[in-house]
């Protein structure tokens, strides 16, 4: 962790606070959390926290939260029989329309078509499963 902090030009203690804030986002991604709540968790002002988080992780807290929610939605769509609406609210989105539009823009398919690609109709040729977004983020696009 000290190496990661040094590489990003941050003090170790600052980086650890940012990691704890990111863990807070992960633990509460299904809830309505805002930048102020996350920044308070790391003991920074919201604007200072935003700058530091971007420097440490290469994206804003909002983008990180959105990507975490979408990754969870992909998991739920492939591993459960929850409806798209249930998945939407389960991962923390407040609007089905916004969720579907964002999912489509990010993943390339609407949620119902994404599920159909993973679980094709019996008797059709199965396609290879897409690469999970968490792997894309981890290893680059």
Whether residue 81 sits in one domain with residue 19: no
- Distance in Å from the first CA to the final CA of the chain: 24
Pure H helices in the chain: 2-7, 12-27, 35-42, 46-57, 61-79, 84-90, 96-107, 111-118, 133-139
- Region 112-122: mean pLDDT is 75
Whether residue 69 sits in one domain with residue 20: no
CA distance 109 to 68: 17
Whether residue 109 sits in one domain with residue 87: yes
124-133 pLDDT per residue, tens = 444 555 666 6
Of 39, 58, 77, which residue constitutes the final position of a domain? 58
Specify the number of domains making up the chain: 2
pTM of this prediction?
0.75
Structural domain containing residue 9: 2-58
Whether residue 94 sits in one domain with residue 52: no
CA distance 61 to 25: 8
Whether residue 87 sits in one domain with residue 52: no
């Amino acid at each position: 962790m000290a190496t990661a902090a040094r590489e990003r030009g941050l003090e170790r203690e600052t980086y650890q606070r940012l990691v704890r804030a990111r863990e807070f986002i992960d633990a509460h991604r299904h809830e309505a959390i805002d930048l102020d709540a996350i920044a308070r968790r790391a003991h920074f002002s919201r604007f200072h926290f935003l700058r530091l988080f971007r420097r440490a992780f290469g994206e804003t807290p909002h983008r990180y939260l959105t990507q975490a929610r979408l990754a969870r939605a992909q998991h739920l769509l492939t591993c459960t029989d929850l409806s798209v609406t249930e998945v939407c609210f389960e991962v923390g989105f407040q609007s089905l329309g916004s969720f579907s539009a964002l999912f489509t823009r990010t993943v390339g398919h609407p949620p119902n078509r994404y599920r159909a690609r993973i679980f094709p109709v019996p008797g059709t040729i199965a396609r290879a499963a897409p690469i999970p977004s968490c792997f894309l983020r981890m290893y680059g696009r």
